[in-house]
Every structure is written in C-alpha cells, then in structure tokens.
Structure 1
Amino acid sequence: MAPGSPKSGVGRIIAGRYRLLDQVGSGGMGHVWLAHDQRLDCDVALKEIRFRNLPDGGEEHESRVARARAEARHAAVLRGHPHVVTVHDVLEHEGLPWIVMEYVAGAEDLRDWLARRGPLAPAECARMGLAVLDALTAGHERGIMHRDVKPANILLAPDRTGMPGARILLTDYGISVQPDSPETRWTRTSILVGTAGYLAPERTTGGPATAAADLFSLGCTLYFGVEGFGPFDRGTDLAAITAVVLEEAPPPRRAGALWPVVEALLIKDPARRISAEDAAAALARIITPEPHPPTQVDTGSQPPWARLVTSDGAPGPGMAPPDERFGGPAQNQSTGSPARNQSSSGPAQDQGLATPAAYTPTAQAPGPYTPTAQAPGAYAPRPGQELGRSAPSAPQPGPGFGPPWYGAPPGPVTGPSGRRRRKRPRVLQALAAVLLALGLTAGGVWYAMAHKVVLPYGDTVGLAEPLRKGDCVVGDPSPGSVAGVPRLTLDPSCGNAVPDGQVMALYKAPSFEVADRQGADRCEELTKGTAEKLAWNVRSMAVVPTRQAFHATGGNVACLLVGKHGPMYGPLGKLRPYGMTFKDATQIQRGDCLGHEDGDALVYTHYQLVACDKNHVGLVIQITHLKTVASGEDADAQANDQCAADAPPEDFGRSSAVFWSHGLRSTGLWAKGYYLVVCSLEHRDKSPLPGNE
C-alpha cells in the first residue's frame, strides 16, 4: 500500500493506547478511525485532525492544537446527552491533535442515509429535527454554539433492538478547527464559523455565532432531509454564500406539513427567526398530530365534506386559507403548492426511521354514502423496511364482518316486512368458502414466516443460540479439516464428547460489514497468546453471525481455537479451572504447573492443573515431538529421551543429577501418527517443587 494512504494507518498505536482498526470516515478535518482502546478493552472513534501545508511548531499550528483541546472540553460538557456523540478525550500524537469519541456502531450520516434510501418523509424528518434541536438547545443553555449543523454531522444509528435510524446523534459538536477541505468552510480571523450553503446569512458578514444561527443551519438540514439537496446548494461555494444572503429557499416538493417550520427557520433576519421553543412545539405537532375537529356542515350550497381539515392544517375545497404561520405566507392547496400538498411525496419517500404513521383523512366524493377501506397513511413503510410502527390488526369476525350470510342460522330469512328473502345462490356460498380457505392458508403462511426461527450463524453452522465465551464445540466435519466453519454442536460438559475447540473470546463488531471483513483477523489477534502456548497445533476460527441475526447476537463474533489435526479434549488456556485433570497432553501449555491425584503414581493422563504458587509435581518447560517412533520400543521411554535431548534441565538452570525432563506424550494423537511430547521439569526423587520457585 502506498505511503500516506488512509488505509496505511491500520494497525498503528496512537498515544501508546489506541490501536487503529479501520477508517470509517474522512472529511475536511482529517480521518475518523475505528480504534480499540487497549487499556479499557473497548472500541472508540478516533478523529485524526490534519493541518495540511502547515509547518509543525509554528504559531498557527500551536493555536489550532490549543483550540482543538478547548473545543473538546466544551463538547465534553454535553457528555451523556442522548442526542450528542460523547467526547472522551483530546490528545496529541506526533504533533497532531486526536479526538477520542464514542463509537456509534452501525451509524450513517444523513447524507449517506438519503443516498441509500431516498429523502425522508416529513414526519420522520421532523423527528430527526426534534432530536437535533434538543441537542442544540442543551448546548445553547450552556453558551455553546455548534456552528456547523449540516447533514454530514447528523448520525442515524440503530438502537439496542436493531431498529435502523432509531438513534439520532449530533456530532462534531464545536470541534471545528480545520478549514482545509474539498468541502470549503468559511473562516474569520482563522476561526471556523460554518459550511457554505448551511451558514446563516448574518455570519457571512462577520456576525457572532448565536443560537439563531444554529437554527438557520438546522432549517437548511431539514430541507435537505425531505428534498435530498440543500436549499442553497449551488455550483460553487461563492454562489452558495450569495444565495444564502440574497435568495429565498425554493419551494420544496416533499416537505408537506414540515415546510412552515423550515420556512420559519430560514428567515434571513435572526430577530424574526422562529425560536427553538416554538420550533420544537411545531415539530412535535407534526410527529403526533392533534385530534381533528369534527366535520363542519355548511347549510348552504357547500357539501358536508368541503370543510374537512387535514392533519397539516390544509383547507378543503371552498375553505378559506389559514392565517400566516411562523412568519410564512399562507399557501393555496388548489395550486398544488408543496406547502400544503402533503401527499405529493407519496409512499416512495418513506424511510426506515422509527416514527408514528401520520393520519391524513381523505375527502369523500359527492354522492350516496359508500363504505370504503381506509386509505393507507401518506407515508406507509416500503415493503421490507423496518419502521418502528405496529402493523394494523386484522379484522375479527363479528357483527358486520364478512358477507351478509356469514354466521346466519339455517332456514328461511325474512326482512323487516316479514317477506321471505331470496336465498343466495349456492355458487356464492361456494365462492365464500373458497375465499375463506384462501385467507386461512395465507394466514398460516404468514404465521409460519413470522415465527420462522432465525439461526444466529445460518443454516450451515446450525447452532440455535449464540455462542458464549468458554463454550466447547464439536464440528462435523472436524474444523481442522475444512477451510470455513462447519456444522457445529455444543458440548455442554466440555470434555465428555471430546470437543474439537472452544470459544476463547468474543469480538464485538460495530457492524455486520466490519464483522464480516475483520472478524477472522480480530479473532486471530485475540487468541494468538493462548495458541502460542498450547502443546498442540491449533488455529483460530471466527464464527460470524448472519446479517439478519447480527443485532440479536449483540454483534459478537465467536473466536474459537480448534485443533488442526484432531480434537482438544477439553478446556483451553485461561478457561481451564485449577484442579482439572488433563485428559490429553493437547490441553497442556508452556508454563503450566502440574500435580496429580492423591494416592496415584505419576501417570501421564492423571496430571492436574495446579496454581504455580502452590507446591506442584512438575513445570512444563518445552513442547516437542518425535518425527518417527521405533517399533517394538517403549513409547514412554522414547518420549523421555526426546525431552532429555530437546529440554535438558541444564538449559533451565537445574542440575540433571537432581532434576529430569519428563516426557508426557499425547496418547490420542500418537494413535493417529502425530507424536506430540510435553516436557515437564521434575525432581528425580518425585518430591514436590515449592511454589513460585
């Protein structure tokens, strides 16, 4: 990889503590990394702030470093706010400031969210705006201005249940120190004040950063949310700044009930701009519309449905337009203006943000009353999308349900006049039976699909529950003989079934994509220490959850150690309890202290794992093997001879007159032709070794 490439930083250790795992973002200030805090054993986001073409040690360089440190302290004031990305620390590494922040797993900024899913529905955008407004207000109350509210600084992330977009977070809170970016930012006396196209007009003339200026930027961002582009996006930054100052925002096509609020946020004069309190109230009304007034019947020539009022306050035909709201002009629905034509966006604009469905009554056509099914909400979820909405309950049998003859008693049916009604033709009854059968069949299919068991690692692996640290598994076929992950079953006893491997660690991945891409490498890293100490050749195996089950498993990749050429016989590494009896030498590792059952002679398969600060029989000093075994000779004697050659006591500061290197062979592997030998340093007279010697 070429020097200086963003990905070339993977693996670097920052400030002796943070290991860079993957680049997850890049912007005007530098790069954002997923990093692992080796001290606290958790993942964090690390923002690398770069000063291009700025010499180290200069006054401007030192000023910017100091400013980054001060801004991080300001952002830390809002630590714990539900809609603000938490800043943990700011540090300096190799002359550059780094910001240590909360890592939000599975997050996408608003730009990427819209690029993948299309514009938001007005109610969903209002929910997002309310969350961002809450974060801004918390800062404003403490005298902290964000100064750079824009789509790139709003994150949409899943909540604990995995609901996409349920968490809304404002990031880069006040950490605005570097203007050098393809996305030009505008400064005054080297102080960053905003981004072209989202900058309040009063800031372009050098006015101070105020709460009202942040609200203007929020209005631009909400406009972007429903339209997919900013109200003042232009071909150049200068043109965008000019539009902010001199032009009005073009009427949107999809804003619906949100437009009056956005319009009030985009008022040029900050003194007339809507307040945060009024904006919050207006956004809340869009999310949860107020109850509709009863239908007003005009005794004149107007039909009863002419004065229905929609949820966004739009008048029905013949109704006078409402007064101006929030400083914006009243709109005429008959002209098709987006300000009142909420249905113009249609279902195609609906996204995966969890929000209540908006109720929009529909006017009825003149004529006799005809019952019709209620139309779906204007922003019903797209097929397959996960929205935080409950599906409508299916109608239940009862009065008025089904055809007129549904549930009718046998015999003649008479009307109010007592005249006998004509029986329905049998063909209609047969048709009703067929429709009922089809409905029951469809319901059964739906029930089966809704209650389908989702296996956490897919059908191939077959496990019904997520793996936990310490679980022992048996593979079919043996994991050591295949490249991928075979079908696995649990061995609850971790020994009786002669397990092929054990879960040594869990790697909590921030997203399925990262788990799929980095799971194998991270598992190898997490199990390397144990693997190097074990007597037997093992390999790391990453069991990655499926995309559908990723959040249900907590995002954990199970990191196994499996034998390359055979089973492991029981617990491994630090998961072995003191007092356990080794069933085979494959469980033994370098540095183990060995004991044996009271009353038993020194039998190879009856050694126990004991604490090294207590008296013990032997200390494992070497792992070796024989290339061949001479037939007709004692196998144990050959193991002892191999240890005497490969691990003589003198190599470990002991006299061979007092100590010997006892060879413990793996009986299970010897039967398969793998001549593994563990060398244990012991007293020749079989007296115990003192603890901590």
Structure 2
Amino acid sequence: MPSGSPTSGVGRVIAGRYLLLNQLGGGGMGHVWLAHDRRLACEVALKEIVFRDLDTVAEERESRVARARAEARHAAGLRGHPNVVTVHDVLEHEGLPWIVMEYVAGAVDLRDLVDQRGPLAPAEGARVGLAVLDALTAGHERGVMHRDVKPANILLAPDRSGSPYGRVLLTDYGISVRPDGGETRYTMASVLVGTSGYLAPERATGGPPTASADLFSLGCTLYHAVEGQGPFERESHLAQVTAVVMEEPRPAVRAGALGPVLAALLAKDPAERLSATEAEAALSGIITPQAESYARTQTDLGSQPPWAGVAPPPPPPGPGVQDFGPPVASPSVGPSAPSAGSSPARHRREVPRVLRAVLAVSLGLVLALGGVWYAMAHRTSTEDTTASAPPYGSGVGLAEPLKDGDCVLADWPGGRFRGTPRLRVDAGCVGGTPDGQVMAFAPAGSADEARKTGPARCEERTREIRERLADVRAVAVVPSPAGFRAAGRRTACLVLGAHGPVYGPLGAHRKLGSSFIDTTNMQRRDCLRARTNRDAQLVSCTGAYDEKVLGFTRLGSDVTLPEARTESDAACAKDVPPGDYGFDPSVYTAGSWTSEGPWKSGTHFVVCTVRRQNGGTMEGDEP
C-alpha cells in the first residue's frame, strides 16, 4: 500500500493513542481510516498523508504536509457547523501529519449513493444542495474557498430521527485556500488543482479561487446527483477540462425543478452565475417550507426518494394517471466481477423573479412525480374493481398476479429504470438471465393505501436481501385500483439487478448444490464449494465448504476481464481483508470470484471470499 509510512495498516497505533481498525476510503492526498481512540474509548476517523513514491522530493513532501495542516486549520475553523465534518486535532507521527476527524457512522458519499441507488429526486437534490451551500457560505465568510466540491466530498448519513440520509456533510478541505489570508499556496504552477469535470472554467484557465468558482462546482455536483453523471463527463481528464471551458453542459433530462438552478450555476461567466444568496432562494423554492430552522433542509415528503422511507402524495384524479419518480433503490456496496465464458471465475443567470416563476411551475411537477419508481396504471376511484382486470394495469402487461419467487424479465421503454417497464414472468428462472425476482409482498386494505405505502414497505421488506447482494435495487409493482383484487390486495416487491440481469434465483429461492452461472446472485455469507476455478456451487454452511463470501469490491474501469482474473485476489485482500472479519491471517487468506456479468454491465464488481491458506475445507471454524 503506497503510504507515508511503509508500516501503515490495520492494527497500527498512531501517536500511542489511535488504533487503526480499517480503511474507510482514500483520495489524492491520503487514506482515511476508522480508528479507536484508546484514551476516550470512542471511534474517530484519521486521515494520513500518502506519497505514491516514498522517494518523493523534499519540496513536494513539504508542500503536501503543509496542505494537510492547512486542511485541518480551515476545517477546524468551521467546527460546530452542522454540515461540515468536525476536525478534532492534527498531530504528527513519525514526521508526518495525521488529521483526527469526526467519524460519521453509516455515512455514504454522494457519488457512491448515486452509483448504487440511482439518481436523486430533484427536491432531494435541492435539500442536499442547500446543506452544502450553507457549509460553503460559512467557509466563504471566513475567506476559505473549498476548491474541490464534488460528489465524493459530500457525505450523507443517518440523522437523529433515523432518516438514513438526513444528515449532509461537506468534507475534505485538502486543497482549500484563503486567497486573501496571506497563506502560502502549496501547489505547483504546473498542477491543475481540483477535479476535472467539476472545476469552474475560470479556474481551469488559471484564474484565482473564488466563492463563485465553488458555486460552479456545486452546480456540477447537483447535476451529477439528479442525472447520474457529471455535466461535462468525458472519457479523459483533458477532455473534461476542455468541455468545462469550451462546451455547454449536457442537457439535463431528470432535473425537473432543479434544471433552471443548475443552468444558472453552470454559467461560464462568473458575473452571470447565481450568487450564494440567489442560489439559496432558488433551492429553497423547490422545497416545501417547514417550521423553524429546519425549513431549508426538510423536503416535502412527496418529493423524497423512496429510500427515505416515506410515501408519495396521491396523483390528481383522472383516468390513466401514472406516477413516475426515482427508484426504490438498494443499499448494497458493489457487485461481482468477471471471467471467461458464462460461469464465474476466481480471480450557466436568470432574473430572480423569472427564475422563481419557472421554479414554481416546475415544483408542481416534481411533487406530482416524486417518490415512487413506478406506480402502475392508476384510475379514478369510481372505477369498478373487478377480479378480471389486469392486476397492475395494462401498461405492465401481466394478466396474472405475481407470485413469491417469480423471476421476471423487464423491458424498459427509455432504458433501464426509465419509464414503465413491461414485465414478463420467466418461469422457473430457466431463461438464465432474469432481470430480478419477486422477494416479498406488502398487503394493503385498499388500492389507495397500496399506492401510498407499497413502495416504502417494499423498501423495508427487501432490505436484508439487498444488503447481502452486490448490485440490486428494489422496485414496487403497485396494483391498479381496477386490479387491486386481482393482485391479491398487495404490492409485489421485486429485487432487480441495478445494471443488468441477476442470472438466476436470489436469496432463499436458490437451491443448495446449484452452480452459479454468474457471480451477480452470490451474496454475503454464502458458503461455496469450488469444484474448479470456474465452477462454484452453493452449499450449506453447516457442512464442509471451501470458501465463504465476505463482501464485494470494484475494479477500475480500465481493468479488462482477463486482467481481473489476476488482480481480483489482491483487490479483495486490500478492500475486504478476512482479518477485519476475525479470521486469523496466519491461517486464512482472501479469495475472489469474477464473471462476465459485471464486465458486460460496466460495474466491474468482484465477489470477495475467505478460504484456508492450505486449501483445506472450512467447517464450523469461522470466528
């Protein structure tokens, strides 16, 4: 592991006080570790300086160490801000600085959240944007420019009420600077500071860091949040920088009410860009006003994404009304990976008045559409409900209600998870590439209740299985009023592959002794018998087995399928080390399984396992 010290790693004690437990993440300046503070008996996050080359010239080492101290100083100046990760201390250990920060339990960064669960609803994006804007403004008032606002530097974590993504935090002031503070700028003239695709045009062409530049980056970040990709995303860093300077952002298709705000934040000319005050007013206009100090950070329930655990408002009455919104998505981390063959293998500004008018019109649309991935073919309550009506409306295409364990094929009119899918049952999952499976049901007393509560209940009832799989989402198939009785008075809860098929049954619907066609339906805590390097069977964990699935990791987009076969073991040893799960490193080692599915979908996920170093079987000897 490249590091400021060759001995850095799990189990190391820093400054005689902080025991490193496991690595939480990393960036251009350092690794972030979960650590135990032995003095206060609590968990903290530690950031260490990283040098890819331990022989880095002294000038660069001094520059990067000074930047780390500046990060701690700037972030500490914002201590107590509800939307900034708290910095407790900066210390030196073996000649290098370590930053002691608040550990945010259950946090996920915005980039990963979008990757794993799909784009945010516009109103939810506005809520996140307001929180980050508040943090940026607090820094700007102190003269501190962040300079690296991007999805990976925004954390979403559970709040005190239990809402899983209610708390929004800006982190990583690693390249922040006070332009008028008399500070030395610890960057080389030849280095472009920031993240390509999120830099403001004036910064990309050598201009000074300003508050307006941070707002441009915020616009790029919110665009990513609701569109699923950056406005200037290209194949290379150079192409992205060129696009930022020379091209208009990619037209937004999912932004809804947030669209005009994004356009105003992404203006090339800083003089035409929204100011912080204007941005705050515009973003607030997308969110239903609430009481007291929470007005800026609580969205209307009907505009929250389904994974916030709330139900959407009912649609206006009228025949043929359909609701579409963001997906009920899965919380899983990352999926499997590839192999040869079909089997797994180991290895821009508007006049504010005009802007508000546009936002007001768009808001009604957002509130009508937000909250559910799809609610099928709703009709007025005066319709007759007959047992012979299609259970989920004609758009879904099913004449019979879904049953537990039904494997389904989904045809999406606008691409995966876009529009209302037409579903077909894949009898017995014999097709080999089902898109997903019915894993639960949510009973209701009426069709209206099913529409209001079904998505949230499906989210909860499929949570356990989704947490054990690598790359899936939950989707609620809600009965139409006319088909409520035919659907068995319940919503069908599907678990679908997020980026491609699941290649077979899921969870308890899999049979012991069956071979995996692909790693996509392997799940955490599965016990495997490895008959060959390309043949893995699901077996009972009560008997003898060769390997056990611990989790998943993801290889780079440039890693080919053949390369993955040789790199996956090492990636799993680094990202999902068996020692973190209590397995003795002197006895056990990391293993991996890869397959074609994740490479075809572009996710490049690998299944990480534990096995005995001597190749022996495991039976009742797990920690």
> Please, what TM-score do these two structures have when normalized by structure 2?
0.48
Specify which structure has the bigger relative contact order, considering alpha-carbon pairs within 8 angstroms and separated by 6 or more residues.
Answer: 2
TM-score normalized by the length of structure 1: 0.43
Which has the greater radius of gyration? Answer: 1
